[in-house]
Chain A
Amino acid sequence: MSYDRARVDSLRLALGASLEELYAIRGADAAAAEVMRSLGAARRIIEDWLPRVHDILNSTAMTSCTRSPLGTPDVSQAAKYAAMYHQGRVVITDPFAPLGPPAPHDDDRTMEEVFAAIESGELQPMNAPMDANGRANAPYESLTFAPSSAPTEIGRIDVTSLPAKFVAFWSIGLPVGWEHTETLTVTRMENVRVTKSVHRLTAFDRDEGPPTIDGLTTTSTVSGFMITMQVVEKGEVTHEMQEGGDPTAHIGFAQQESTSFSVAFYPDEEPVFAAVPAGARYENPDVLTVTTSASPMKDDWGTWHA
């Protein structure tokens, strides 16, 4: 893609200003509820695009490169190419090409409305993958979600318990610090490809993940709401930099951070899984994999929240 930096920057500023204007429109009156709801959906369109425009302006595609061997065209000639074919515009590889823009969807529910639909039973969770229940050599399933377009984040809330916030606050400035945060995110996913793989519970390399049993992998395409709970634990041992100086200035000795997540998916309709033909396949690398196992089977896997 090519762009005019000054114009894209104007677009970015206009998007930001428009968003502020739309947020300033308020209407608590019940008669204005329908209009306000629709305005919320309009705001989300801008909220979806603003970070993308920002990312395009900040793309390092033109500032970081590896030189090709002598005589081979590379990115160093891009400026000349741009001058010749794009009238001085910046030429970059579209950073969103693999996923494209967020898919348009008619379901413009707010986070509260999604939770209400779940409580009322209108939205039903997808069937949980089969669990090995800790039995050696027993089969179990993993579900991999590969979005076909960028998911739309509907909302996120900090659900960290008060005691955890209290501990994090009081450990500021102490030699041993501990921080525990829990974030709940609701995301709308359109036409996400769900792949169900079957594994056998055996010892394996946590970096590589468990081997998949051939011939049992099935897949389906489905749209729906994903609820993700992300837990981040951060521990730190520090030492005061200067005795009698700023009591909050510390130098870190050791720091450890771990992130885990659990997921629940509420499809528009229960997906029907079909067998995947054997052979090499192209997969979206931006995937999320979960199992029902109490401890994730691979380091970057999450757990299925039943």
Chain B
Amino acid sequence: MSTATPVEQLRATARHLRSIASLISGSRALNLYTLAGTETWDGPTPLACCAALVALRRQLLANQQTATDIARRFELRADLLEQQPAVSAAS
């Protein structure tokens, strides 16, 4: 019972991080670069814009991965905390 609150907190944080990751993966910003290709415009500025939007996609995917990784760590810690009373009771 004493670990219930921290476990809940860890799981809530993990849920929050997973929701952020899900929002990022569903964001239209990930596909903006497809709208900025040569069929839309041509020239040095368009080229730079397309490169910036490709970099934006990379950055967002990295953010999504980071949020998922942190969420997984929190879930693992919550699992470990949940197993502790069972282990101590068995011994």
Contact = CB atoms under 8 A, between A and B. Distances in A.
A22 interface: yes
Interface in B10-61: 13, 16-17, 20, 23-24, 27-29, 32, 35-36, 39-46, 48-49, 52-53, 55-56, 59-60
A35 B61 CA distance: 11
B45 A14 contact: no
Contacts, number: 123
Interface residues on A, range: 35 or more
Contacts of B20: 25, 27, 32, 35
B36 A22 contact: no
A237 to B, nearest CB: 45
A199 B64 CA distance: 55
Given A18-B28, A22-B27, A35-B17, A1 B63 contact: no
B44 A94 contact: yes
A56 interface: yes
Contact of A101 (B49, B62, B66): B49
Contacts of B62: 38
A269 B5 CA distance: 49
Nearest to A93: B43
Interface of B, secondary structure class, is helix
Contact of B55 (A25, A39, A45, A94): A45
Interface residues of B, number: 34
Interface of A, secondary structure class, is helix
A17 B46 CA distance: 19
Interface of A: 1-4, 7-8, 10-11, 14-15, 17-19, 21-22, 24-25, 27, 29, 31-32, 34-35, 38-39, 41-42, 45-46, 48-49, 52-53, 56, 86, 89, 94-97, 100-101, 104
17 contacts: A2-B41, A3-B41, A8-B41, A11-B36, A14-B28, A14-B35, A18-B28, A39-B60, A42-B59, A42-B60, A49-B53, A52-B45, A94-B45, A100-B45, A101-B45, A101-B48, A101-B49
